[in-house]
Amino acid sequence: MKPLTPFGAELVGFDPAQVASVAGAASLLKALTDHAVLVARELELSGAELIAIGRALGELEILPEPDKRNPDHPEIFDLTNVRSDGQIVDFDEPQAVFLRGTERWHTDSSFREIPCLSTMLYAVEVPQTKGETQFADMRAAWDALDVEAQARLESLKVVHSYEFSRGNNPGELEPWTDEERAKYPPATHPLVRTHADGRRSLYLGGHASHIEARPIDEGRELLAAIVDEATVAERVYEHRWAAGDLVMWDNRSTLHRLRPYDIANQRRVMRRVTVAGTERVT
Ligand code: OGA
Ligand code: MN
């Protein structure tokens, strides 16, 4: 394992078959928990292989807005500016609006009562330049706060909502139906998480709507200020993609975002599986 800067690790010589055994899965989970971002390179993964790597760590989530691109594998979601007809999307169509939404710092599926553990993203096609993914370490962000700031934040609870973050996406999307709203109600989580190893981290990002029992605007301002401070460059690993890269990250302890690229001309096809969590956030 080769450390990345300022955090994360590269799994040199990663063999997807290794994770099939109980011991292999346990060591992947330990590496993920310790390093928070894991990078493997030069892979050639089928959909079934990507799913198998995800399944080594748990059940897989199905996203709220299903991707019809992989009909045999509903667990796979392609984040891509290429439509199923092979053409690049128009700037304002829902697929592009959704993608540009991932340019905000966020942690995946925090709108769920039991949010996900990990996201695994496999690069199929990458732009010639730009389109990096950045990761910020929310354990380091917590550790960097002084004791008074930690005490102010420790007891706060944050309301996370998919309807809120979807509405914040940069463009027009169909309003949500009552059925969708009922399926994905907001979830409330502590702002400060405590992990099994005793470390603590900040838990917020794009789906975080406001702070419970505080005026909405005041909560939003505070959340935005915390994200700004938590994501300063010294806590950010930036991944520059090559086709064949697999990046697996721990959504419990990091935020991530897509950096802009020439979405109108450069193809970017990223294949994702999301490993569900098993317990409520504490
Ligand atoms: C994701 C995500 C960012 C990217 O897969 O959850 O936010 O760089 N991706 O594609
Ligand atoms: Mn994401």
What is the band of 111 on the pLDDT scale with cuts at 50, 70, 90? very high
Share of the chain above pLDDT 90, in %: 91
Q: What is the mean pLDDT of residues 136-142?
A: 98
Q: Best mutation site among 169, 257, 259 for ligand 1, i.e. most ligand atoms within 8 A of its Cβ?
A: 257
Distance 163 CA to ligand 1 centre (A): 18
Checking if the pLDDT of 66 tops 80, the result is: no
What residue type is assigned to position 162 of the chain? Y
d(CA 126, CA 270): 8
d(CA 96, CA 40): 27
User: In this structure, are residues 52 and 73 in contact, taking their beta carbons and an 8 Å threshold?
Assistant: no
Helix axis angle for 22-35 and 47-57, nearest 10°, is 80
Checking if the pLDDT of 68 tops 90, the result is: no
Atom index in ligand 1 nearest the CA of residue 99 equals: 10
Atom index in ligand 1 nearest the CA of residue 108 equals: 6
Distance 108 CA to ligand 2 centre (A): 5
Distance 17 CA to ligand 2 centre (A): 26
Closest CA relative to residue 81, chosen from 262, 244, 267, 245: 267
Domains in the chain, CATH or no CATH each: 2-275 (3.60.130.10)
pLDDT in tens, 149-189: 999 999 999 999 999 999 999 888 888 899 999 999 999 99
